């Protein structure tokens, strides 16, 4: 099955108004590769401005609350993200799970909330170095995936991002065989849970993707694109990754 490649930049806690020209430049690069779906998940303070400058890229949020409103100081609902101009949201990123204690149940609830608000969702799963070295990486990630997938999950609005947590921001990358093993296992689990729709759902790789390794990573079976961190902040480093997916 041919699945359109999806390449998404996660700016994390980076980006001010002065960085909007980079959004525009990345949007222009995205427009030159229409066969690839390209997005930027920017800080909430930039969403509305980035949505105006986005060109051929979509704009997403990096998290949302599971509730639509209420006494949740400092949080943002999915409806708020959408009103600001986001069309996608990341949920379950390893940094949210680790730094904010988010559980699989929390992640599933957030995914449902984002979908209910009309957003598409990237749901993240992945293992720590301790889990990887224990030899339990695949069963750990599959258990996390099973518990994090919301009811009604469908390829139309949900994509999975596999993050080997031990690679994020370190420059380390698993071997292509390790990436293939995990993506194949995730694909099989999705098909078991969702049937044909599990074969249509995109699985992104998200661990230290850069211009030097993207082309090789994107040739691995069941790698349908990438969730890119630091390399997505500038068109000079993100553009070649987009091109590699074309």
pLDDT at 1: 73
Measure the N-to-C terminal CA separation of the chain; round to a whole number of Å: 16
In tens, the pLDDT along 164-188 reads 998 877 777 799 999 999 999 999 9
48 bridge partner residues = none
pLDDT for residue 41: 98
Q: Which of 132, 143, 71, 134 is nearest to 103 (CA)?
A: 143
Q: How far is CA 167 from CA 113, 134, 172, 204, 238, in A?
A: 29, 16, 5, 15, 18
Percentage of the chain with pLDDT > 70? Answer: 100
Question: Which domains are delineated in the chain?
Answer: 6-245 (3.20.20.70)
Does pTM surpass 0.75? yes
Res. 134 pLDDT band, cuts 50 70 90? very high
What is the distance between the alpha carbons of residues 223 and 219, in angstroms, rounded to a whole number?
Answer: 7
pLDDT at residue 94 greater than cutoff 90: yes
Q: What's the mean pLDDT in 87-104?
A: 97
Condensed to tens digits (0 to 9), the pLDDT of residues 40-67 reads 999 999 999 999 999 999 999 999 999 9
Across residues 127-147, what is the average pLDDT?
96
Instruction: Report residue 225 CA to chain centroid gap.
Output: 9
Per-residue model confidence as pLDDT tens digits over 104-133: 999 999 999 999 999 999 999 999 999 999
So which residues are the catalytic ones?
Answer: 93, 163
Angle subtended at Cα 191 by Cα 190 and Cα 193, rounded to the nearest 5 degrees: 65
């Amino acid at each position: 099955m041919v699945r359109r490649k999806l390449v998404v930049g996660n700016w994390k806690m980076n980006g001010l108004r002065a960085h909007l020209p980079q959004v525009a430049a990345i949007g222009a690069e995205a427009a030159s590769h229409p066969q690839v779906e390209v997005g930027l998940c920017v800080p909430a303070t930039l969403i509305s401005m980035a949505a105006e400058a986005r060109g051929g890229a979509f704009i997403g949020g990096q998290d949302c609350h599971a509730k639509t409103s209420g006494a949740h100081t400092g949080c943002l609902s999915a409806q708020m993200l959408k009103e600001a101009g986001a069309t996608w949201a990341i949920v379950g990123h390893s940094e949210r799970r680790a730094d904010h204690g988010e559980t699989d149940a929390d992640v599933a609830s957030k995914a449902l909330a984002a979908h209910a608000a009309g957003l598409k969702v990237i749901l993240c799963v992945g293992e720590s170095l301790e889990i990887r070295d224990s030899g339990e990486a695949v069963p750990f990630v599959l258990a996390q995936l099973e518990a994090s997938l919301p009811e009604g999950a469908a390829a139309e609005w949900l994509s999975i991002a596999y993050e080997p947590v031990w690679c994020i921001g370190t420059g380390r990358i698993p071997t292509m065989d390790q990436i293939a093993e995990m993506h194949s296992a995730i694909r099989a689990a999705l098909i078991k849970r969702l049937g044909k729709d599990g074969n249509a759902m995109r699985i992104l790789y998200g661990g230290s993707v850069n211009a030097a390794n993207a082309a090789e990573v994107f040739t691995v079976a069941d790698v349908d694109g990438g969730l890119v961190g630091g390399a997505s902040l500038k068109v000079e480093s993100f553009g070649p990754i987009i091109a590699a997916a074309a």
